[in-house]
C-alpha cells in the first residue's frame, strides 16, 4: 500500500522554480543522504514544473530539456534510486502546465507509460490551462487509471489547488494525496492562513490519501521562488513545521537542503515531531472551536497517537504574549477522573510537572509549545 503515512520528500519549486538542472537534482539527492534527511524519513526527490521543452515531439512525447537534463530522466532516476531514494516528477491535467509547458490532457496513458519507463515513483499532477468543456474529476481519474495500467507503483499526488472540493473525491479516484489550498509563500501569514482553513477538513485525510497543505518553506529565509518581503524567524518556522506534523499532512521540503542553516536542519529532522506526523493511525488533532474563536490568534489542541500517547499543542499566532487555553475536561480528562497529565516539552525536553484540570501556558508572540502527556493517578 502506498502512502500508509504522509509522504515525505523534497520538491524543487519553492526555492528554484524554473531554474532547475540535472546537476541541482543530483546535488540535492546527495545532500538528502549525507545530511540525514533520508534517514529521517524523507524519501522522494521531486522535479516540479519547467523540466521539458515547450512542445511535444513528432511522436507526441514530452521531451526533457536537453540543456537542463543532458542525460535524460532515466539517468536522473537511476542515480536517485542508487542512493536509496525515490524519484518524482510533475505534469498537469490541462493542455499546458502552470508555466506553459505541455500538459497531459489527452495524453494520459502515453505520459504515464513514459514516466514508468523512466523509473518515476511519484507524480505531482497540477490543474492549469484546463479546458472549460472537460470534466476535472474524470481527468484525475483517467491519469490515476493510466498510472495503474503501467504496473509500476507510482504515488499519485493530485494537485487541484483546492478547486472542485478535492477532499470529497480525490481518494475515490485513486489519488494518494490532494492539494487542498492555493500555493504557499515564504511568509508567516501564508502558512497560518492555510493551516486554519484546513482544520475542519483534516477528518477527510488519513492512510491511503492525505490532505496536502502544500510544500514546506522552512529554511528559505526570504530567498527563492516563493519568497516575500517578510523574512520568517526560526520561531515562525517552528510553528509551520509543528502544524504540518500535528495535522498529519505530507512533509515535502521546499528549501535548499544543500545550504540549510543548522537550526532549520535540526527542526526538519526532529525525530519527535516527525514521529507525530508519521503516526500509523494519523488521527487529526482535537480542538475546541469555542476556545479557538475566543481569540483568533491562539489555539490549544490535543492529538491521540497509535501507541496510546497524547500530544498537547499550543500555538500563539499573535505578535504579543497570550495565555493559550486548553481545559482537560474538553479532552476527556476532568478532575473527577482522578488523573492528571505529566507534561514534557517535545522541543526542549523540559518536564513541567503534573497538571490537573488545565494547563494554559503563556506564550510569547508567534511561538508554539508541544508536550508529550503521560497519565498520572492523583
Report how far apart, in Å, the C-alpha atoms of 302 and of each of 20, 315, 362 are: 40, 12, 17
Backbone angles phi, psi at 271, to 5 degrees: -65, -35
- Nearest Cα neighbor of 118 from 157, 84, 69, 83 is 69
Grid look-up 529521517 returns 40
Report the run of H or E that residue 107 belongs to, with start and end. Answer: none
Please give the distance of CA 193 from its chain centroid, rounded to a whole number.
15
Cell numbers found for residue 283: 488521527
Which residue in the list 30, 65, 78, 183 is annotated as catalytic?
183
**DSSP H stretches of helix in the chain:** 13-16, 22-34, 37-40, 73-82, 108-118, 136-149, 188-197, 234-247, 262-268, 271-277, 289-292
The SS3 of residue 277 is: helix
Task: Report the DSSP beta bridge partners of residue 301.
Answer: 287, 313
- CA–CA separation, 11 and 13 (whole Å): 6
288 in catalytic set: no
The SS3 of residue 265 is: helix
Contacts of 105 (CB under 8 A, 6+ apart): 92, 93, 94, 95, 130, 131, 134, 139
Which residue in the list 49, 121, 126, 288 is annotated as catalytic?
126
Contacts of 11 (CB under 8 A, 6+ apart): 46, 48, 88, 124, 215, 252, 253, 254
126 in catalytic set: yes
b/e map 66-76, b = 16+ CB within 10 Å = eebbeeebebb
The SS3 of residue 185 is: coil
Catalytically annotated residues? 126, 183
Amino acid at each position: 500500500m502506498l502512502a500508509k503515512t504522509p509522504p515525505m520528500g523534497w520538491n524543487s519549486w519553492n526555492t528554484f522554480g524554473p531554474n532547475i538542472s540535472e546537476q541541482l537534482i543530483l546535488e540535492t539527492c546527495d545532500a538528502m543522504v549525507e545530511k540525514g534527511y533520508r534517514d529521517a524519513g524523507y524519501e522522494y526527490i521531486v522535479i516540479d514544473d519547467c523540466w521539458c521543452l515547450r512542445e511535444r515531439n513528432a511522436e507526441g512525447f514530452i521531451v526533457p530539456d536537453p540543456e537542463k537534463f543532458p542525460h535524460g530522466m532515466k539517468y536522473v532516476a537511476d542515480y536517485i534510486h542508487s542512493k536509496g531514494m525515490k524519484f518524482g516528477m510533475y505534469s498537469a491535467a490541462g493542455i499546458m502546465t502552470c508555466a506553459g509547458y505541455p500538459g497531459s490532457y489527452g495524453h494520459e496513458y502515453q505520459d504515464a507509460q513514459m514516466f514508468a519507463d523512466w523509473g518515476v515513483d511519484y507524480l505531482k499532477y497540477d490543474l492549469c490551462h484546463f479546458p472549460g468543456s472537460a470534466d476535472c474529476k474524470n481527468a484525475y481519474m483517467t491519469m490515476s487509471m493510466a498510472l495503474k495500467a503501467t504496473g509500476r507503483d507510482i504515488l499519485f499526488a493530485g494537485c487541484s489547488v483546492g478547486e472542485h472540493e478535492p477532499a470529497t473525491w480525490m481518494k475515490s479516484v485513486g489519488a494518494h494525496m490532494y492539494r487542498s489550498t492555493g500555493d504557499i509563500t515564504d511568509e508567516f501569514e501564508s502558512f497560518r492562513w492555510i493551516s486554519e482553513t484546513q482544520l475542519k477538513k483534516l477528518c477527510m485525510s488519513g492512510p491511503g490519501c492525505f490532505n496536502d497543505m502544500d510544500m514546506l518553506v522552512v529554511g528559505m529565509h526570504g530567498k527563492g521562488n516563493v519568497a516575500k518581503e517578510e523574512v520568517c524567524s526560526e520561531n515562525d518556522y517552528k510553528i509551520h513545521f509543528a502544524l504540518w506534523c500535528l495535522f498529519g499532512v505530507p512533509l515535502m521540503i521546499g528549501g535548499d537542503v544543500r545550504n540549510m542553516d543548522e537550526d532549520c536542519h535540526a527542526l526538519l529532522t526532529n525525530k519527535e515531531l516527525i514521529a507525530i506526523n508519521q503516526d500509523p493511525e494519523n488521527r487529526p488533532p482535537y480542538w475546541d472551536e469555542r476556545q479557538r474563536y475566543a481569540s483568533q490568534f491562539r489555539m490549544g489542541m490535543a492529538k491521540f497517537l497509535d501507541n496510546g500517547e497524547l500530544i498537547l499543542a499550543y500555538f500563539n499566532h499573535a505578535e504579543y504574549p497570550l495565555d493559550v487555553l486548553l481545559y482537560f475536561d474538553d479532552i476527556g480528562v476532568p478532575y473527577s477522573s482522578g488523573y492528571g497529565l505529566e507534561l514534557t516539552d517535545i522541543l526542549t525536553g523540559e518536564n513541567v510537572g503534573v497538571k490537573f484540570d488545565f494547563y494554559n501556558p503563556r506564550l510569547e508572540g508567534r511561538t508554539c509549545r508541544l508536550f508529550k502527556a503521560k497519565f498520572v493517578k492523583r
